[in-house]
Amino acid sequence: MIDENKKKRIPLWIFPSVQQKVMELFPKDNCKSQSEFIEKAIIFYCGYISSENNKMYLPQIITSTVKGIVDDSENRTARLLFKMAVEMAIMMNITAANYDVDEQKIKEIRQRCVKEVKESNGAILFADAIRYQKS
């Protein structure tokens, strides 16, 4: 029986240029030897070609960086939406206090606004609303 915890020596044939790359890079990967570097490279490549384990081989730094960027963007967007909602509530309360609009008129305006926003993907200009109200 082969002891799984004991390393086995195997013959390895590589080009001198590849060996030179290994000699240059193994210390940068915090490997103690060329053999350790080659073993890590083999394990990485085996994982890379077997699709079931490819998440393990995507560098964690990339994943965490992208997640951080998305989280920051989400937080910024949520804060801006909250501020806009507060300003909109202020504007609606001031408008409601100064104009007498019945429930039916509000329903009609809401339906028209929903249709307008859908058609323009939310790109509505104040000048367009004034032109519509005057027509």
**What pLDDT is stored for residue 35 in this prediction?**
92
**What pLDDT is stored for residue 57 in this prediction?**
57
Question: Average pLDDT by consecutive 10-residue portion of the chain (135 residues)?
Answer: 75 94 93 92 80 60 84 94 92 87 88 87 80 81
Instruction: Show Cβ contacts of residue 29 under 8 Å, excluding neighbours closer than 6 positions.
Output: 37, 40
CA distance 61 to 68: 10
**What pLDDT is stored for residue 74 in this prediction?**
94
Fill in the amino acid letter for 30: N
Fill in the amino acid letter for 41: A
**What pLDDT is stored for residue 134 in this prediction?**
84
5 φ, ψ to 5°? -90, -5
Q: Per-residue DSSP letters for 78-113?
A: HHHHHHHHHHHHHHHHHHHHH----HHHHHHHHHHH
